[in-house]
């Protein structure tokens, strides 16, 4: 159920409706919009008695939301959600494209700084890097853990980049949340409901990657888990799904971008690195993702991909990243977007290039 407040409803009226919902034994989720506030109701099994709600002061109407996902649905919030970061002009969602770039894994301070310097110089606003890695093999590099989180905090200090990193489990979630600006929940954890719920208790943006075989509804239900706990800053990321195609690691499903846009108000990113697994496919698919209407790109960049501890074959060189930025900057206006480059202090040219 959704309570739509009148445009001129006061804070007190909104609060009174929320209190009433709590008294009924349900949970209110006030979602302010440009025109009016809507209050989502969760926790009800059947219909909520709308008569009482409709008679409350400031209420315009009470609507039944028929979709399985409610808070993530566009029925509940018409305008696109924009995730903002205090003390910075970086944002995910909205008119400006967000670019998250960095290595698959943080391997050392030197490696992280060399790559961060180059992606910052090319205009990225967000730095990615795995501290805790979900690896298919238990014998593969599992990440530097806390040491990597500390390195990324230094990267934030030095380059002004916001940090995106994955929380692999409920045990390390709080630690990751302490150090990161955006908490990533990986494809393999998209239906780890305990982890999603716990991330919902945080007040930090959560980036959810689409599961390897997740439908649109399953994807949005993962977002719903986080939002149902009161954390509305959720970002969706398409990263390819498993199909019979064997020319690429995954099949990047760009058609989900407009489909998600229609169904949900949440920001949508595309990861062409995991989406293809091939360096030569990353730039073309990044261009296509922007053309398809994505709110931004998450991409793996490495200055020595041949020596990378993980995902070297899909990591682009810093020079290619700069080209990608230039290309998507040109596509952006065609789809009514911009690519605001960060202005960073000059960084000494590091290794890499191609
Ligand atoms: C990653 O971003 O490095 C990662 C492991 O992604 P995914 O969960 O999409 O495989
Ligand atoms: Mn990776």
Q: How far is the CA of 50 from the centre of ligand 2 (A)?
A: 48
What is the pLDDT, as a whole number, of residue 87?
A: 86
pLDDT in tens, 45-86: 777 787 789 999 999 999 998 899 999 999 999 999 999 998
Is residue 130 classed as helix, strand or coil in its secondary structure? strand
104 CB within 6 A, ligand 1: yes
Whether pLDDT at 346 is above 80: no
The answer to whether the CB of 209 falls within 8 A of the CB of 187 is yes
pLDDT in tens, 249-289: 999 999 999 999 999 999 999 999 999 999 999 999 999 99
Both tokens assigned to 168: 């692999």
Integer angstrom CA distances of residue 171 from 35, 175, 198, 229, 268: 41, 8, 10, 18, 27
Among protein residues, the one with the nearest Cα to ligand 1's atom 9 is 187
Express as a percent the part of the chain with pLDDT over 90: 89
What is the pLDDT, as a whole number, of residue 51?
A: 75
What is the pLDDT, as a whole number, of residue 342?
A: 67
Mean pLDDT of all residues belonging to the chain: 94
Helices 318-331 and 109-121 meet at what angle, rounded to 10?
Answer: 30
pLDDT-wise least confident of 85-94, 98-107, 194-203, 335-344: 335-344
Nearest by Cα to 234 from 337, 132, 124, 82: 82
User: Phi, psi (5° rounding) for residue 17?
Assistant: -65, -40
Whether pLDDT at 349 is above 60: no
Q: How far is the CA of 4 from the centre of ligand 1 (A)?
A: 38
Among protein residues, the one with the nearest Cα to ligand 1's atom 8 is 186
Residues 16-27: what's their mean pLDDT?
94
d(CA 304, CA 309): 10
**What is the atom index within ligand 1 of the atom nearest the CA of 310?**
3
């Amino acid at each position: 159920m959704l309570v739509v407040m009148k445009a001129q409803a006061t804070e007190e009226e909104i609060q009174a409706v929320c209190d009433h919902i709590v008294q009924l034994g349900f949970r209110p989720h006030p979602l302010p919009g440009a025109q009016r506030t809507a209050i989502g109701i969760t926790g009800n099994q059947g219909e909520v008695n709308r008569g009482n709600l409709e008679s409350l002061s400031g209420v315009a109407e009470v609507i039944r939301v028929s979709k399985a996902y409610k808070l993530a649905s566009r029925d509940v919030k018409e305008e696109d959600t924009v995730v903002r970061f205090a003390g910075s002009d970086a944002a995910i969602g909205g008119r400006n494209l967000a670019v998250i770039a960095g290595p698959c894994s943080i391997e050392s301070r030197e490696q992280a700084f060399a790559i961060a310097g180059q992606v910052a110089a090319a205009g990225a606003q967000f730095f990615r890097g795995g501290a805790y890695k979900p690896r298919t093999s238990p014998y593969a590099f599992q990440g530097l853990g806390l040491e990597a989180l500390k390195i990324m905090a230094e990267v934030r200090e030095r380059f002004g980049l916001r940090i995106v990193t994955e929380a692999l489990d409920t045990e390390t979630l709080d630690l990751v949340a302490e150090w990161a600006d955006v908490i990533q929940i990986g494809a393999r954890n998209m239906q780890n409901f305990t982890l999603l719920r716990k991330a919902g208790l945080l007040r930090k943006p959560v980036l959810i990657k689409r599961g390897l075989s997740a439908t649109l509804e399953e994807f949005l239900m993962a977002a719903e888990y986080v939002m149902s706990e009161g954390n509305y800053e959720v970002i969706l990321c398409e990263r390819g799904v498993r199909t019979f195609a064997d020319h690429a690691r995954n099949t990047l499903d760009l058609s989900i971008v407009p489909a998600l846009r229609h169904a949900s108000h949440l920001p949508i990113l595309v990861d062409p690195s995991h989406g293809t697994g091939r360096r030569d496919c990353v730039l073309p698919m990044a261009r296509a993702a922007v053309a398809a209407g994505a709110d931004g790109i998450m991409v793996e960049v490495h200055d020595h991909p041949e020596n990378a501890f993980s995902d070297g074959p899909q990591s682009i060189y810093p020079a290619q990243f700069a080209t990608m930025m230039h290309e998507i900057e040109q596509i952006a206006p065609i789809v009514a977007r911009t690519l605001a480059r960060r202005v960073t202090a000059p960084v000494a040219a590091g290794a890499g290039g191609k």
